């Protein structure tokens, strides 16, 4: 028998986790189904969804995430019944009025992307106020995608560049990926490292199609109102356990 000190150690080491994502984007899906499963009105599902947003923001701050983008209202959501759209807008107003001071106190910067000119004036003013009050904060950048559509964003970017070309301010041959990225609503914000979608659906629903070209995706069965810090951490750990190649060789194989 070999001495005890030389016995083989058969324990399997846990794989090392990679760095945290700088930017997490979330498609918050399942509010209506959450309410329907409980025999509640859809508005109650949306209310509980706002609570999940609050939990997620707190978790992101605690983890040290730099950017968190939430898909609040898509350009396609206008197809929903008018009373549900009105409820969603009412929840947005309430969220900003109730939570803005707390976000500001926690050094959160609020940024809004999407077709703001198409919104009612009172909504535009609230969004402007949220950005203005928090613009100097240096903590988490909370990006709210509201009245947002990814294809529409790209169309608007192309139009901006076309106007610059027509005015003689831009050489068409000088247009590259950086030029296009700078014309998008997300200019100055790094692309998402991780995209999370809840509710078991496995599609991107016109959410940041340009920016997510090399993002990692985690699709969760949880309905959005049930999303909490533990679920968030588990999704992030999935991301940290992956080998990101960006079209090149595996870093683990080097």
Question: Which residues line the annotated binding site for Mg(2+)?
Answer: 29, 216
Distances (CA, A) of 148 to 144, 161, 196, 242, 245: 9, 20, 17, 29, 29
The one catalytic residue in 9, 29, 107, 193 is 29
Structure tokens, 151? 């294809």
Q: Given the structure tokens 């356990």, which residue do they identify? A: 241
Distance CA 200, CA 212 (A): 19
Which of these is catalytic: 9, 77, 191, 206? 77
Is 228 among the catalytic positions? no
Is residue 226 flagged as an active site residue? no
From start to end of 199-252, where are the E strands? 216-219
Phi, psi of 113 (to 5 degrees): -120, 150
Query: Residue 129 gets which letter from DSSP?
Result: H
Decide: 116 and 144 in contact? Cβ < 8 Å: no
SS3 of 156, please?
helix
Identify the helix (H) or strand (E) that includes residue 144.
strand 141-148
Reduced to 3 DSSP states, what percent helix, strand and coil does the chain have, rounded to the nearest 5? 50, 15, 40
What residue numbers does the annotated binding site cover? 29-34, 42, 46, 74-76, 78, 80, 197, 203-205, 216
Task: Give the H or E element holding residue 72.
Answer: strand 67-74
How far is the C-alpha of 74 from the C-alpha of 148, rounded, in Å?
5
Contact (Cβ atoms closer than 8 angstroms) between residue 71 and residue 47: no
Positions at the binding site for substrate = 30-34, 42, 46, 74-76, 78, 80, 197, 203-205
As annotated, the active-site residues are: 29, 77
């Amino acid at each position: 028998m070999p001495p005890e000190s030389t016995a083989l150690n058969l324990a399997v080491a846990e794989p090392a986790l990679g760095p945290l994502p700088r930017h997490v984007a979330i498609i918050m899906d399942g509010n209506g189904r959450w309410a329907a499963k409980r025999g509640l009105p859809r508005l109650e599902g949306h209310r509980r969804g706002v609570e999940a947003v609050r939990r997620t923001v707190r978790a992101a701050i605690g983890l040290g995430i730099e950017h968190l983008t939430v898909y609040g209202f898509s350009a396609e959501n206008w197809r929903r019944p008018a009373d549900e759209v009105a409820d969603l807008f009412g929840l947005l107003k309430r969220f900003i009025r109730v939570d803005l001071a707390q976000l500001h106190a926690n050094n959160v910067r609020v940024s809004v992307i999407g077709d703001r000119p198409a919104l009612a004036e009172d909504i535009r003013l609230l969004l402007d106020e949220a950005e203005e009050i928090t613009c100097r904060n240096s903590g988490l950048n909370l990006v709210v995608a509201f009245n947002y559509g990814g294809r529409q964003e790209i169309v608007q970017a192309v139009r901006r560049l076309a106007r610059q070309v027509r005015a003689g301010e831009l050489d068409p041959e000088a247009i590259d990926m950086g030029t296009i990225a700078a014309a998008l609503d997300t200019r100055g914000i790094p692309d998402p490292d991780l995209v999370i979608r809840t509710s078991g659906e496995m599609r991107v629903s016109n959410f940041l199609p340009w920016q997510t070209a090399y993002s990692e995706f985690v699709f969760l069965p949880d309905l959005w109102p049930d999303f909490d810090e533990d679920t968030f951490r588990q999704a992030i750990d999935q991301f940290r356990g992956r080998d990101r190649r960006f079209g090149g060789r595996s870093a683990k194989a080097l």
